[in-house]
């Protein structure tokens, strides 16, 4: 696994919104522009007033199948040990592999509190979450496709393997960035260079914004101002 992203880089990335980070990544031509982010099925369901950045901890769950014996599955705590092998801060990425994801919620107030105590700052899932008011008040972030009143028969079936959530492929240790716009994967090899690229994009965009707000705009002035921004 790659070494942890430096605290300085994490702090600089967290000062940027996901749209700006996505734009900056495009300038490095390290992947296609329609890759590297979760689709609109994954949205922030708790307070998302500022971005969150962290390294991915992955797991898969099922919710609809009953256990062979007993009334519920026994909670697995072995994956907590795995969480601590991933550099902090951490973002848990949970793939619900049921035929119909979202029957039950794995992350509720208790699990969110446990994850936060283990250095996790957010969770991302194609399944369900619950206890939104309490989790929002505690500052933990949830990005999900569904909300459910029940945990049903939720249980962890495996962890520490690549998962897919909202069309985004995530491997353990991947660097993620998320806010009210969605969830984005940040290539680790260019992470430290993104803030500088973002600042240049912001500078060029400011020329267009200032021109439009100043009044007296002409089509030619707009053409001159936007040259280079969308290439």
* Structure confidence at residue 4 (pLDDT): 79
| Element holding 22 (H helix, E strand) | helix 18-26
* Structure confidence at residue 69 (pLDDT): 64
* Structure confidence at residue 70 (pLDDT): 65
CA quadruple 23, 29, 34, 38: dihedral sign? negative
* Structure confidence at residue 68 (pLDDT): 66
State what percent of residues in the chain have pLDDT above 90: 77
* Structure confidence at residue 204 (pLDDT): 87
Q: CB count, 10 Å around CB of 33?
A: 11
* Structure confidence at residue 1 (pLDDT): 61
* Structure confidence at residue 228 (pLDDT): 61
| CA atoms of 13 and 52, how far apart (whole Å) | 9
Low pLDDT (below 50) residues in the chain:
none
- This prediction has a pTM of 0.92
* Structure confidence at residue 178 (pLDDT): 98
Structure tokens at 124: 């991302």
Helix/strand/coil for 223: helix
* Structure confidence at residue 159 (pLDDT): 96
The residues pairing with 223 across neighbouring beta strands, listed in sequence order, are: none
* Structure confidence at residue 53 (pLDDT): 97
């Amino acid at each position: 696994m790659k070494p942890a992203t430096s605290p300085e880089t994490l702090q600089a990335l967290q000062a940027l919104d996901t749209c700006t980070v996505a734009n900056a990544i495009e300038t490095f031509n390290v992947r296609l522009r329609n890759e590297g982010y979760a689709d609109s099925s994954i949205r922030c369901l708790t307070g998302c007033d500022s971005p969150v950045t962290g390294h991915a901890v992955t797991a898969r769950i099922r919710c609809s199948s009953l256990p062979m014996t007993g009334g519920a599955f026994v909670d697995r705590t072995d994956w907590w040990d795995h969480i601590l092998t991933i550099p902090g801060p951490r973002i848990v990425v949970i793939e619900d592999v049921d035929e119909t994801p979202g029957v039950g919620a794995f992350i509720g107030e208790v699990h969110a509190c446990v994850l936060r105590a283990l250095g996790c700052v957010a969770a991302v899932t194609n399944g369900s979450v619950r206890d939104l008011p309490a989790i929002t008040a505690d500052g933990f972030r949830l990005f999900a496709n569904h909300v459910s009143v029940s945990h049903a028969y939720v249980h962890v079936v495996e962890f520490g393997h690549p998962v897919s959530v909202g069309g985004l492929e995530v491997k353990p240790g991947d660097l993620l960035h998320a806010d009210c716009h969605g969830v984005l994967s940040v290539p680790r090899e260019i992470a430290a260079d993104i803030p500088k690229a973002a600042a240049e994009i912001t500078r060029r965009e400011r020329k267009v914004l200032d021109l439009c707000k100043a009044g007296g705009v002409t089509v030619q002035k707009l053409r001159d101002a936007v040259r280079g921004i969308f290439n």
